Structure 1
């Protein structure tokens, strides 16, 4: 069964694009002295505006031309959005990258957190974590990493049990599914070795 969370899944290519543009946005936002404002507005755009299919289609649909989208962006956000962020959206439109806006927002938030000493950690479990379990996992991660931790909890029933923890590019797979796969692989390797040993003994010269 597919992984579920409040955020859509993303592919590696979009994630890389998101990281590149997030760094560009960070530089522009910091230069404009509006980093906190842009963090909040970009999050609102992704989690509020783009949650509505009609609005999302108007902003990121590839069937809409760049010129048409500029008109839509100006009409919707001029005077309501930080000018630096609005200009950034227009740049994304010009490069046909608005479809990566969710990945950009995620990478931007993570980058801001890292600059401020916070680490975003993705924790995936087979069942939703209770509030107590989530607090316990967060506290353990903060102790281990020595930094403030923001946990994004997601669910993937295929894990059966245990947790998969992702910190940046590092993945720690402590799931039951992974443990079972390791046991299966070790068992097959042992059986193959035993068969080879038996064959070697059978074919060895007397």
Structure 2
């Protein structure tokens, strides 16, 4: 989460992010610019130097990016570099986050599906050590890893999902899983929702899922998107995680509590 001057700078750049048009292209261009700034420390230092007038920095980025990115993406970038940033890293992080917002907006009515697909990809990566190792292997090029993403998800998931999974390979987050989780949170925020991870022993029926979502939405005062994890270790009941809040009504938890009381 950005604070201070960077939070204000992010808001200024977000204000010019388009809500329509080729938003998938805008997302890709913002991701590419974020990657460029991270890869070129000299450019990043100039772009975030508080002693240089904002318009001068904007003109520099226009010269670097003109003809290489869309007009809409360039407007976002120049708006961003014209602002004051708390740290140089924040600029690249902000452009990546705005790229995620653009990618989410590109899905239109399929934004809920995007959230579900991102969660499914995260679960797949977590459950497959070989895939996790392939994504984190420093000996493999990013192009090679991107090709692996295409082979796994291309044509099966939304283009925005594939784009975001590919961006998770950039190294801007500690792991691919952490990146995808962050992107899903942004997707929920774009839709004005919160995210709850629900652990159950068996899949929830649609009616039960709807009732749980309605109950949580009433409790937290906004719509809640459910990520359902089926885990036989739960045995029965349900465990809900929303941010730092944990609601644990599982049989396994009650058995653990009973065991601790007996041991005590």
- Aligned residue in 2 for 1:60: 135
After superposition, the Cα gap between the structure-2 partners of 1:46 and 1:130, relative to the gap in structure 1 and judged at 3 Å, is closer
- Is 1:122 the counterpart of 2:197? The answer is yes
Provide the C-alpha distance between the structure 1 equivalents of 2:253 and 2:146, rounded to a whole number of angstroms. Answer: 50
CA contact (8 A) 2:203 2:230 kept: yes
SS at match of 1:133: helix
Q: What SS does the aligned partner of 1:121 have?
A: strand
- 68 and 138 in structure 1: CA distance in 2 versus 1, 3 angstrom threshold: closer
Alpha-carbon shift at residue 46 of structure 1 (Å): 8.8
- Kindly report structure 1 stretches of 4+ aligned residues shifted beyond 6 Å: 20-23, 38-48
Aligned partners of 2:168 and 2:180 also within 8 Å: no
The answer as to whether partners of 1:22 and 1:108 remain within 8 angstroms in 2 is no
How many pairs does the alignment contain? 153
- Paired with 1:142 and 1:71, the residues of 2 have a C-alpha distance of 37
Which residue in 2 is equivalent to 1:151?
226
2:105 maps to: 36
1:95-120 CA distances to partner (integer Å, 9 max, x unpaired)? 497961x4422321212312442011
TM-score normalised according to structure 1 size? 0.54
Match for residue 179 of structure 1 among 247, 251, 254: 254
Structure 1: 5+ residue runs without aligned partners?
A: 1-19, 190-206
TM-score normalized by structure 2? 0.43
2:116·2:227 contact (CA, 8 Å) conserved in 1? no
CA distance in 1, matches of 2:218, 2:146: 49
1:132/1:149 CA distance change after superposition, 3 Å: same
* Alignment correspondent of 1:13: none
**Residue 26 in structure 1 maps to residue 97 in structure 2:** yes
Q: What whole-Å deviation, never above 9, does each CA across 1:76-103 have from its counterpart, x for those lacking one?
A: 99xxx78xx69x957944x497961x44
Report the secondary structure of 1:122's partner residue: strand
Q: 1:36 to 1:182 in 2, by over 3 A?
A: same
Tell me the equivalent position of 1:105.
Answer: 180
> Of 217, 240, 243, which residue of structure 2 is paired with 1:168?
243
Q: Which has the higher contact order (CA 8 A, sep 6+)?
A: 1
